[in-house]
Structure 1
Amino acid sequence: MYMIAGLGNPGEEYEHTRHNAGFDTVDALADELGVRYWKNEGGALVGKASYRGHELLLVKPQSFMNTSGGPVSKLMRAYGVAPDHLIVVHDELDIEPGTIRVKFGGGHAGHNGLRSICDKLGTRDWFRVRIGIGRPPGRKPVVDWVLSRPRSKDDTEAFDHAVSEGADAVLCLIDNGLEKTQQKFN
């Protein structure tokens, strides 16, 4: 079993913001895999799917970004998911909009959702699909940037492309492992 945890903030005011790239990617996966039913479980919305012989848990924590680790760790324990079968999808400031990167392990780089997961799991050894949102232009504060929606046609297309690529990368990671997925997407 794999758990795919998309990070974001619950509520309409945060829908499709840059910080919710993880939620949007998990929603794209749900559409592709035919997940129509979401259950509120362990502080998250959980959808279940089968993919090429693997059971998948699609997870969107509903506790806000900074405390994502609680629902993720609770569901991992409940379903017996090992950290090396956890794939976290999140926004990444240091990656250009429209691109993604896949990696295993690493720090949290100041991302509070990742920090929370690291703290609750007691390890940093899990997969990450990083959705590029880029840095804010000019002197715009980072918090205002990540909590805003892409506005221009080009920004929206780049964001949507990265979300789609992120969903494809998750399935590639399950099918082909890290090295081949990095060769294809990084």
Structure 2
Amino acid sequence: MSIFDKFREISKSEAPMPSGPVEYIIAGLGNPGEQYAYTRHNAGFMVMDTMAQRLGTEIKKLKFKSLCSDVSISGKHCLLMKPSTYMNNSGQAITEAMNFYKLDIEHVIIVYDDISLEPGTLRIRRKGSDGGHNGIKSIIYLTGENTFPRIKMGVGKKPHPKFDLADWVLSRFGQEDLEKMQDACQHACDSIELMVDGKIDEAMNKFNS
């Protein structure tokens, strides 16, 4: 089985249905469409797919301009989201879901790519600026807040300063880096479980590179 097949593989077991209102939104950022699958900019989608596999579900319900799945994580009702708005308009999906469930921004966890970190590394933060990331910029602009917890997934820096940034983030991982990303996605899922359980400090101490 190739590394791509491992990311596509979905557990056949049925996940327990969560009860009560949604307490957390967990959104992985990326671009929809097979042509963007396993590109650096889709690291957030890769984490969401890994979490879905872990929980025995599929992210396929159309809602809030996204593909969604209701899941139980650390005993909390959570909504997994993969926005279908394309990266630069990610905030549209996030604000729709936030407003519907009347959630504070601190209960929205965003997972996204970071070119300043090497592939396979994570950086968890309680809040922060957009750092030049257009998806995060959209979320901050439309919510008016930057105090949402986030997990940055390292995808590697450009091979040369003059290399076009858009071309770089839309390029696919090589085999070696993709294997590193598979491990990183598992660690990101572990981090999400801790963060939803109110243990963000533990997640940062354990997984921040």
**Residues in 2 aligned to 1:136 and 1:173: alpha-carbon distance in whole angstroms:** 30
Q: Which structure has the larger Rg over C-alpha atoms?
A: 2
**Residues in 2 aligned to 1:36 and 1:108: alpha-carbon distance in whole angstroms:** 29
TM normalised by structure 1 equals 0.95
Percent identical residues? 38
Deviation of residue 175 (structure 1)?
Answer: 2.6
Amino acid paired to 2:64: G
Partner of 2:44: 22
1:13 to 27, 35, 43: 35
Contact 2:59 2:81 (8 Å CA) reproduced: no
TM normalised by structure 2 equals 0.85
Contact 1:135 1:142 (8 Å CA) reproduced: no
Partner deviation per Cα, 1:27-83 (whole Å, 9 max, x = no partner): 111111122362111211110001232001000110100000001100111112211
Amino acid paired to 1:133: V
1:55 to 71, 74, 77: 77
Change (3 A) 1:143 1:37: closer
Change (3 A) 1:155 1:104: same
Structure 1 unaligned spans of 5+: none
Contact 2:59 2:67 (8 Å CA) reproduced: no
Partner of 2:182: 160
2:159 to 134, 137, 144: 137
Q: Report how many residues are paired.
A: 185
Instruction: Quote the RMSD (CA, aligned, Å).
Output: 1.2
Change (3 A) 1:134 1:37: closer
Structure 2 unaligned spans of 5+: 1-22
Change (3 A) 1:50 1:167: same
Partner of 1:127: 149
SS of the residue 1:68 aligns to = helix
**Residues in 2 aligned to 1:93 and 1:156: alpha-carbon distance in whole angstroms:** 15
Change (3 A) 1:177 1:156: same
Q: Which has the higher mean CA deviation after the structures are superposed, 156-165 or 72-81?
A: 156-165
Q: Does 1:177 align with 2:199?
A: yes
**Residues in 1 aligned to 2:57 and 2:100: alpha-carbon distance in whole angstroms:** 20
Q: Does 1:80 align with 2:105?
A: no
SS of the residue 1:125 aligns to = coil
SS of the residue 2:199 aligns to = helix
